[in-house]
Structure 1
Amino acid sequence: MKEIYFNHDGNIDDLVSYLLFLQAPNIKLLGVSAIDADGYVDPAVAVCQKLTDRFNLRGDKLEVARSTSRAVNQFPAEWRTASYSFNYLPMLNEAGKVVTKQAQQPAHLDMIAKLEQASAPVTLVMTGPLTDLARALDASPAIETKIARLYWMGGSLNGHGNVVQVNADGSQEWNAFWDPDAVARVLDSAIPMQVVGLESSEELPLTDELRMHWARLRKYPAIDLVGQAYSLLVNPPIQTAQLYFWDVLTTISALYPEVVARVEQHRVKVITAGLAAGRLVDDPNGRELTLVTKADKEKFFQRFDELLMRTN
């Protein structure tokens, strides 16, 4: 049975990803933690507690860890408020109480503890910045051997980023830009990595057709919740840009590798200073990673629906 630890940064896709992990069969979720990046960390932790109470199908013993990591470059505030809105959705609050507890240790220490206690090397899934993993590696280098594979949503290797700020040239992706040195620290490790970058999920846009599909299936509580959650996203992160299922592809690919239709092997390094800080670039002397370059749209949405329909 695959054992998984999930670290995320609390926006809609991250929280939907956690819901999918709670619904998935034939895995064990060792832990979950939230970092204060694309979503505000306190409501993100609260949402995870409530999702655990409502949708923990396997009955995994879970607490939610709160990260104490801080940004080098913080996401725009207007992007981050969705975590507050998600936390107010009626389905998550109808019980009137929260049972799942917050973990006593901060996220990077919780990650270390869960990895050390695991019975076999763990699948680590991260859909936000890599800072908690970098801190965990610094605090306990031996955990490197306890990670079977890291699935990360972050970066861009084609030079087209999503950061529009005065201190950036636009070539970098936000999860990498949040803390470029953390990316460098993880790249310095020997942890096998599969990366979903901005270029990885062009087959998987968020569309009005998909919203109507969820509306027709709202008798399933998890699908109803997902439809409500994505209705909170009115504007894309960059005006005129299309939203894609980057985080959810990372999550589902960790559960079902067949949703990935094509990958490339790259040797990369990260730029850590200057206007290009956070940009991943090909380098013959860099560390090797697997970059997802195409998703199987039919298989992806089939698995998406199957997982969400497991709760009646």
Structure 2
Amino acid sequence: MTGEPIPVIIDCDTGVDDALALLFAVRHPGLDLRAVTCVAGNTDVDGVVRNTLTVLERAGAPDIPVARGAARPLIEPARSARHVHGTDGMGDLGLPAPTRAPAAVDAVTLLHREILASPRPVTLVPTAPLTNIALLLRTHPEVTSNIGRIVFMGGAVAVGNATPVAEFNVWHDPEAAAILLTAGVPITMYGLDVFQQVVVDGPEVHRLRASDEPGTRLAGDLLAHRPTSPGGPAEAEEAGGLGDAGAVCAVADPRGITTRLLPVEVTLAPGPSRGQTVVDRRPRPGESEIHEGRREHALVDVALEVDADRYVRLYLETVGR
């Protein structure tokens, strides 16, 4: 590794895999985690703040500012994913309450302050519904002058999880995602197509869980929370996906993903396709463009392939520091 660490701000809805992402960001020497902002998503926003502070404590992180953000999407009511992440959003691991306190400012204020205060352009990494980011961009558009790139975990080229076509983070607040795509800065979409491929196998998860170091052990417990092969042999049951942490791996090591610059838009109309990220992979215009003219689309670096083994190695090397 050469050069100075990359200034990074994570916007999250901590959650199991957001916690994995935070553990990685704190410990990777090539990343300078400057702030964390919290938004409703996997659980309610107060639970997200609590979980975030707890993870940073367990990771032995320095006193990184953490701020509470939006309690609900721009238009829709909040709809949690506790059925995936547990009642507390952290796999119901019974973790102690944090002793740290959140910042005295709200998430948008903290984002504005930390982005403009950074001596070098910030990489913004949203791993959650994009409500805070949309509010920031609409309230303080000047921040884009010091955002080098936004790498967001969200969307899907092929199959969704919240619906057959929509991924949870975008589905939770489609209007916010649409605003993100107009940010006017380089954007990388780390969607379900690559998200689901990066899996830590059972023996490695077991090794992490046996560690005496609190942050490393927490990573193992979180990975084991969601088995990738329920009903299989014990080592397969303990295997777990990195999920959101893969997006932070892509910041530290962008050569691990293959991207294409493609037009992307978010479906906002009510109905079964609401929240879908429509990614245009056609080599030439179709009849719609020929007869009706081209529409404006955001151009996004869409992750289409991932070197899963590379990111698993990177993650294990980093959280074991």
Q: Same fold (TM over 0.5)?
A: yes
| Rounded Cα–Cα distance in structure 2 between residues aligned with 1:85 and 1:153 | 18
Instruction: Tell me the SS of whatever aligns to 2:119.
Output: coil
- Write the deviation string for residues 145-182 of structure 1: whole angstroms up to 9, x where unpaired: 22100010001122x21124xxxxx2111111111111
Q: Which residue of 2 aligns with 1:167?
A: none
**CA shift for structure 1 position 235:** 8.6
Separation in structure 1 between the aligned mates of residue 244 and residue 45 of structure 2, nearest angstrom: 17
Counterpart amino acid of 2:305?
A: K
Aligned to 2:220: 227
- Separation in structure 2 between the aligned mates of residue 264 and residue 210 of structure 1, nearest angstrom: 32
Q: State whether residues 151 and 187 of structure 2, in contact with CA within 8 Å, keep that contact through their aligned partners in structure 1.
A: yes
Q: Give the alignment of 1:5-20 within 5 angstroms.
A: 5-20=9-24
Aligned mates of 2:109, 2:44 — CA distance in 1:
20
Distance in structure 1 (CA, Å) of the matches to 2:9 and 2:213: 26
Matched residue type, 1:247: D
Provide closer, same or farther for how the CA distance between residues 141 and 114 of structure 1 changes in structure 2, counting only shifts above 3 A.
same
SS, match of residue 300 in structure 2: strand
- Do the aligned residues in 2 keep the contact of 1:32 with 1:65 (CA within 8 Å)? yes
Q: 1:197 maps to what in 2?
A: 191
Question: Distance between the aligned counterparts of 2:243 and 2:222, measured in 1?
Answer: 16
- Measure how far apart 1:141 and its partner are: 1.0
Give the aligned partner of residue 32 of structure 1.
Answer: 36
| Contact 2:15-2:89 at 8 Å conserved across structures | no
1:102 is displaced (CA, Å) by 0.5
Q: Aligned partners of 1:259 and 1:296: how far apart in 2?
A: 5
* Number of residue pairs aligned between Structure 1 and Structure 2: 290
1:300 to 295, 302, 311: 311
The answer on 1:279 being equivalent to 2:276 is yes
Q: CA deviation at 1:34?
A: 1.5
Mapping for residues 143-292 of structure 1, pairs under 5 Å: 143-158=143-158, 160-164=159-163, 170-205=164-199, 207-215=201-209, 218-233=211-226, 244-260=241-257, 262-275=258-271, 276-283=273-280, 285-292=296-303
Give the residue type in structure 1 aligned to 2:244: D
For the residue of structure 2 that corresponds to 1:25, the secondary structure is coil
1:239 match: none
CA deviation map 1:220-268 (0-9, x unaligned): 43231112223333699xxxxx9743311101111122322x2222111
Alpha carbons of 1:157 and 1:28: their partners in 2 closer, same or farther (altered >3 Å)? Answer: same
* Separation of aligned partners in 2, 1:146 and 1:69: 26
The residue aligned with 2:109 is 109
Q: Matches of 1:85 and 1:20 in 2, distance apart?
A: 16
Equivalent residue, structure 2, for 1:140: 140
AA aligned to 2:269 is: A
TM-score, length of structure 2 as denominator length: 0.81
Give, in angstroms, the shift of residue 31 of structure 1. Answer: 0.4
Match of 1:78 among 77, 80, 83: 83
In the alignment, the residues of structure 2 paired with residue 30 and residue 245 of structure 1 have an alpha-carbon distance, to the nearest angstrom, of 22
Equivalents in 1 of 2:165, 2:89: separation in Å? Answer: 29
Gaps of 5+ in 1: 165-169, 237-241
Match of 2:55 in 1: 51
**Whole-angstrom distance in 1 between the partners of 2:89 and 2:198:** 26
CA distance in 1, matches of 2:104, 2:29: 28
1:271 CA drift (Å) = 1.0
Q: What is the CA–CA distance in structure 2 between the aligned matches of 1:75 and 1:231, rounded to whole Å? A: 21
Instruction: Tell whether the 8 Å contact from 1:40 to 1:81 is kept in structure 2 after alignment.
Output: no
Gaps of at least 5 residues in structure 2 are 230-238, 281-293
